[in-house]
Amino acid sequence: MNRVTPEQVGTPVAENLSRRAGTSSPLTITVPVTGMSCASCAISVEKTLHALPGVEDANVNFANQSALIRYQPRLLSLVEVQRSVRNAGYDLLLEAEPDNTSLAELQEASYRKLKTNTIFAFLFSIPVVFLAMFAPGWWLAKWIELALAAPVVFWFGRRYFVNAINQARHFHANMDTLVALSTGIAFTFSMVNTIVPTLFSDGMSSMGPPIYFESAAVVIAFISLGSLLEHRAKDRTSDALKKLIGLQPATVRIIRNGIETDVHVAAVQMHDTVVIRPGERVPVDGIVTSGSSYVDESMLTGEPVAVAKQPGSKVFAGTLNQRGSLTLDAQAVGSTTMLAQIIRRVEQAQGSKAPVEKLVDTIAGIFVPVVIGISFVTFAAWMLLSGTSFIPQALLASVTVLIIACPCALGLATPTALIVSMGKAADNGILIRDAQSLEITHKIDTVVLDKTGTITEGKPTVTSLIWAEEITEIEKYAAILYALERASEHPLAEAVARHFTKEGQSAPLVLTEFEALAGRGVQGRMDNELFYVGSARLLESLGMHIPMAMQSRMRAEEEAGDTIIYFFTKHQVLATISIGDPIKVGSREAIQSLRDLGIVTVMLTGDSKRSGKIVAKTTGVDQFEAELLPNEKGDYVRTLQKKGHIVAVIGDGINDSEALAQADVGIAMGAGTDIAMEVAHMTIISSDLRQVPKAMKLSRATVRTVKQNLFWAFIYNVIGIPIAAGVLYPFTGYILSPMIAGAAMALSSVSVVSNSLRLKRLSL
């Protein structure tokens, strides 16, 4: 395992990272944490991290044993962070290079050790219980029980005592403190009664003084079993992330200097020629240079249908090549591939915390000290109300309080549900930035959709280009129009440029000036004259009017829902261009699904009202607004929010970025711009709108599961602790056995995690 310690590190990992990211920028990383046994441990680590100068934010997740740290590398190195965490009684697993197997190996070794200790704890505990039940009066039985219980408590259960001592050294307390106190007190009391039987007994009882060796041993066995089951269950919550990590092949075949050779995937460089054989996974992002095949991209899009690939097609790391062979030019390798970015985003999202989880963490942080206090109060109450003759019952009740209290169930209630949910989302091609976004999504009552590239294909094509009747130099003006549209980044401009390219237009002219007019069009200068391409709004703002002849000729295209743009000067309309953008497959279905969920749908577009109305009517959106500038889209979202609506915005372009950032939840299409995806809270990798209702359903199911988990975790402790303290004794004479308390405590955590795992089977 490739762990980095302060003694081994010449240049800290953080310093290597800072050179790549820039020393003035904060870094956000996810680091595994070892030594945590409950939610209180996570709180201790989090407080330690927050206290460090240079740490801007830190979230410690008990469920996946990791810390999400945002820090300034110029002020702090990761080795210094590790040193502080170690001083608090825990550790960070640092790695010189990303190696996803090292953490798995550490967890597997921990699991094997825990499994061995659990098995032997039960093997030694069973005869102790047998002797306590069937040979209580035999003078030798208590000595045999002492001999068998001692290794269970202090060897197979030694980790609880070691961790409790480490916590006490730093004035902290956690679940291990409760286990160590309860079993240690029970064992010590029993040992004293075995060695000095008259100390707590008047000698009148033929059975001798009470001993609880069986309770101490069985509690260790049950809690170890609970930890074992919890370990397995928590491990399953991150199955989706492990599956993503497993999609990266270890070796790859490349061609260098005309020679084919197999190398480790980490050795692949940009623009290497990579050979993908049938049945192999693609190791890098690249462009196909030769060959044809079908590639299964379901890990990215969630869609099971394979996609045809031929020269010029893009392929992505982790996707599965089917029957054909492909040769490709590597465009992104290592940590820059889309797969690596998805893994990184899922890890960070799973390490983040929802608002409700932060509240639970606050409760968990004071839980253990409160329980210890309740235990002392229980003992004192028994002694005050019943007298010294009830010392065994008082001790039994106070020990049982320590055993039955379970901060783990509280600590696992929220993060396990979120981890499973985010993995489920990733399986369906939905990337969620953080837990807060997932939690808010269930409250959304209004969805605002962009039109071009979101509802429609975003690949518009020119359906007609009509020149004014008086234009005679069509070739000259066509070249100028081509130059203007080639310089623009708008999707409609790209459609015009593609049209001229297909028509065989030569290289575009060089404009002496060019300016994009946000939301309206573009302008450029050629031969000392300004030319414009844009909407009717731009045309009218310059005092121009569309000739009647052109209006009649374009009416059919407008009625079909095509977008009309104009090419003109300040003196003359030169041409009208009709551009059609087909509606995406699934858009109507997605919008109807949102409406079925009780969500109001609104379409915002910069296109004409006529075009917007036709698309709105065709897809079934509830409302639409057209001819909006980018800032007007943001203003519209703000207006909805002021009215009390929780708003999600779905978009794909730069012009949507303000609205996406303003929204309560911004959802970007994966085929859109990087800026849109950067500001969004979710990304639909496949750009299929049908994934959005799935995200809504998943959020609702996740919040429902979190509430169920929290309810049962709180109810368990609210009911269990008073019963353990002995509130039923005055009415029924019943005192809860520590053995039963230990089993209940172990099962409470397992039940919470198991409930979260039901999300994996959720049908979206």
Rg (CA), the chain: 34
CB 613 within 8 A of CB 624: yes
Alpha-carbon distance of 316 to 295, in angstroms, equals 10
Q: What would the two tokens of residue 656 be?
A: 């949507």
Distance CA 141, CA 93 (A): 46
Residue identified by tokens 């575009």 is 508
Sign of CA dihedral 283, 289, 292, 296: positive
Positive or negative: CA dihedral 423, 424, 429, 432: negative
Rounded Cα distance between 96 and 94, Å, is 7
H/E run at residue 559: helix 548-559
The closest of 552, 608, 600 to 580, measured between CA atoms, is: 608
Q: Are 649 and 659 in contact (CB under 8 A)?
A: yes
Euclidean distance between CA atoms 341 and 433, whole angstroms: 12
Give the per-residue pLDDT at 13.
39
**Of 238, 254, 237, residue with least CA distance to 246:** 238
Name the amino acid, one letter, at 365.
G
Q: What is the dihedral of CA 629, 633, 638, 643, to 10 degrees?
A: 120
Residue type, 695: A
pLDDT score at 602: 95
Mean pLDDT of each 10-residue bin along the chain, 764 residues long? 33 39 69 80 86 89 82 88 87 61 67 89 91 81 91 91 83 79 84 77 53 82 78 65 73 87 87 90 92 81 72 88 89 84 72 68 76 90 79 83 77 81 86 84 93 81 86 87 85 84 76 82 89 88 81 69 85 88 88 94 84 87 86 89 93 78 87 68 87 94 91 86 88 81 76 87 85
Supply φ then ψ for residue 551, to 5 degrees: -60, -45
Helix orientation angle between 355-386 and 407-427, rounded to the nearest 10 degrees: 160
Residue 450 known to be catalytic: yes
Quick check: 370 and 327 in contact, CB under 8 A?
no
Element (H, E) at 579: strand 573-580
Cα–Cα distance between 414 and 406 in angstroms, integer?
A: 15
DSSP string of 667-692, one letter each residue = EEETTS-HHHHHH-SEEETT--TTHH
- pLDDT confidence of residue 1: 32
Phi-psi region of 684 (alpha: psi -120 to 50; beta: other; left: phi over 0): beta
- Whether residue 68 contacts residue 50, with contact meaning beta carbons closer than 8 Å, is answered with no
CB 295 within 8 A of CB 280: no
Whether 29 and 402 have beta carbons less than 8 Å apart is answered as no
Give pLDDT, residue 218: 84
Res 234: pLDDT: 62
Q: Rounded to two decimals, what is the model's pTM?
A: 0.68
Q: Burial, 489: exposed, middle or buried (Cβ in 10 Å; 0-12, 13-18, 19+)?
A: exposed
Choosing from 272, 450, 656, 688, the catalytic residue is 450
Residues 273, 274, 276: CA angle, nearest 5 degrees: 150
- For residue 233, give Cα distances in angstroms to 141, 239, 756: 38, 10, 9
Stretch (H or E) spanning 533? strand 529-534
Under 8 Å CB-to-CB from 630, ≥6 apart: which residues? 518, 519, 606, 654, 655, 656, 657, 658, 659
Q: What is the largest CA-CA distance in the chain?
A: 124
Q: Please give the structure tokens belonging to residue 538.
A: 């731009």
DSSP 217-267: HHHHHHHHHHHHHHHHHHHHHTHHHHHHHTTS-SEEEEEETTEEEEEEGGG
Residue with tokens 């291990």: 176
Per residue, the 3-state secondary structure of 159-171, as one string, reads: HHHHHHHHHHHCC
| CA 366, 367, 370, 376 torsion-angle sign | negative
- 220: nearest Cα among 179, 181, 186: 179
66-71 β-sheet, strand order: 55-61, 66-71, 27-34, 91-92
**Is residue 76 a contact partner of residue 54, using CB atoms and an 8 Å limit?**
yes
CA-closest candidate to residue 328, choices 367, 280, 362, 400: 280
SS3 per-residue string spanning 660-673: HHHCCEEEEECCCC
Distance CA(357)–CA(414), nearest Å, equals 6
DSSP letters, 291-314, are E-EEEE-HHHHS--S-EEE-TT-E
Q: How far apart are CA 269 and CA 329, in angstroms?
A: 10
Closest CA to 187 of 166, 214, 205: 214
Name the token pair of 330: 């590597």
Token pair for 717? 């402790």
Cβ-based neighbours of 493, under 8 Å, separated by 6 or more: 484, 485, 486, 522, 533
Quote the CA–CA distance of 95 and 436 in Å, as a whole number: 29
Q: Are 494 and 528 in contact (CB under 8 A)?
A: no
Alpha helices in 606-737 (DSSP H): 609-619, 630-642, 657-662, 674-679, 691-725, 729-732
